[in-house]
Structure 1
């Protein structure tokens, strides 16, 4: 019987993207690397648990779920997250950022200062700039200020991010757009006194992700299935997504779909369901800033 592995997800390190496996094994991902695995047949996908704890009932979860958690474990995981606003007395400093994913796709968010830019890499932000730093609740109020005053969302769908990656403006164009947004944000009144504002300094991840000149994707994996196979050459990686060159063209694999499955190394062909991108299908562009 072939040895099986369980994926814990994609992590971004100083050297680039890394697939992490239960037990601590890591697989570094570099451009041109062959990514190939098969899904064990018959076992199904099970909940990955929460906060480092296994799911007590090993509940079955949908193949389309990017969280791979049952309802109870998802509730427990979110209850301890910054986004849940249950950590008002957290003494650690936080940063507010403005992240850009493509023309018209920009969001505001917060992250722990100690994490540096890891959160932006995890989200697939093509470029970003810090806006300020301070206590958690001051960072949260600043985030709300931008949402209310300028209509900047705190979330952008991954489906929208994927569709624009092969048609990004050049570096100068990317930086100019986020520079203008940063200036508009700086003019707003009502910033919390305890938040120290940060001057504009854009960080561009297009080179890190390998997006310069990347071919347009023809579709994205919609789910993994028992007995299915994935095989392709890595041409780009952004956030949790791997852009794989396959016999049918470039297909995007969201690595969050890999968690919860028993996987075996090596595979030929590409036999998991793929949602094809229809010609002329546009990303949903927000209205607030333009």
Structure 2
């Protein structure tokens, strides 16, 4: 009998993307590798738990949920989340950053200095620059200042990020232009928190790390996994939680967060039999920086 595995998510290491599995096993992902699995027949998707702990009731969760958590575990996870603004006394220093995902898609965010660039890789940032560093609350105030004064969001939907990855400017300077302008405007603002040390503009580009150069346009994205459904394709790029796979119907994007909570078994080269939604056109998501 083929052993089933449970995926705990996509991780980014210094060597590239890695699929992590419950129990500690890891699968390195390289361009050209075939990613192929089937959801166990009759399987039910169960809550992935929170903060390193299993869900005590193994609650069922919807197939389309990217959080893969029941209501109680999601509440517990948010209760210990800097991103959800529920922690105010974290003593660690934080970076404020500007990230760019495609034309008209720039955002501001914060991440613990000790995490380095991990947060930007996890979000699928095509390029980014640090803006400042300091205590958590000073970083939060700077983030709010940019949102209010420059109308820079702190979130961009993944669907919009995915739809433009094959239509990025070919040169690094072109990809960095929008955040270079925003960085200059940000450091000139009044009301900058005194405890936050400014950082000079220095763009970091992830096109090579993500494999986005010459990326074929995707035809769609997996919306959910289903019991008995299969996914199979050649990996051509990865960004954030997303895998871009060449399938029999063209390039399809799989958000690996949809894999969590399912029992998965390996398969050979098969057709994709999970629900796939067609992308909107690139033009539909590029309607201005602000």
1:229-240 superposed matches below 5 A: 229-240=230-241
Q: 1:113 to 1:280 in 2, by over 3 A?
A: closer
How much does 1:180 deviate? Answer: 1.4
Contact 1:38 1:227 in 2 (8 A): yes
The answer for the alignment partner of 2:220 in structure 1 is: 219
1:125-274 superposed matches below 5 A: 125-170=125-170, 171-267=172-268, 268-274=270-276
The RMSD of aligned alpha carbons is: 1.2
- TM-score, normalization: structure 1? 0.97
How much does 1:41 deviate? Answer: 1.4
What are the Cα deviations for residues 114-166 of structure 1, in whole angstroms up to 9, with x where unaligned?
00000000000000000000000000000000000011000000000001100
- Separation of aligned partners in 2, 1:104 and 1:287: 4
Contact 2:20 2:26 in 1 (8 A): yes
How much does 1:82 deviate? Answer: 0.4
1:42-61 superposed matches below 5 A: 42-61=42-61
The answer for the alignment partner of 2:2 in structure 1 is: 2
Count of residue pairs the alignment pairs up: 288
Contact 1:96 1:130 in 2 (8 A): yes
Unaligned runs of 5+ in 1: none
The answer for the alignment partner of 1:81 in structure 2 is: 81
Unaligned runs of 5+ in 2: none
- TM-score, normalization: structure 2? 0.97
SS at 2:166's partner residue? helix
Q: 1:56 to 1:92 in 2, by over 3 A?
A: same
The answer for the alignment partner of 1:90 in structure 2 is: 90
SS at 1:166's partner residue? coil
Q: 1:63 to 1:284 in 2, by over 3 A?
A: farther
- Separation of aligned partners in 1, 2:123 and 2:282: 25
SS at 1:137's partner residue? helix
- Separation of aligned partners in 1, 2:44 and 2:99: 36
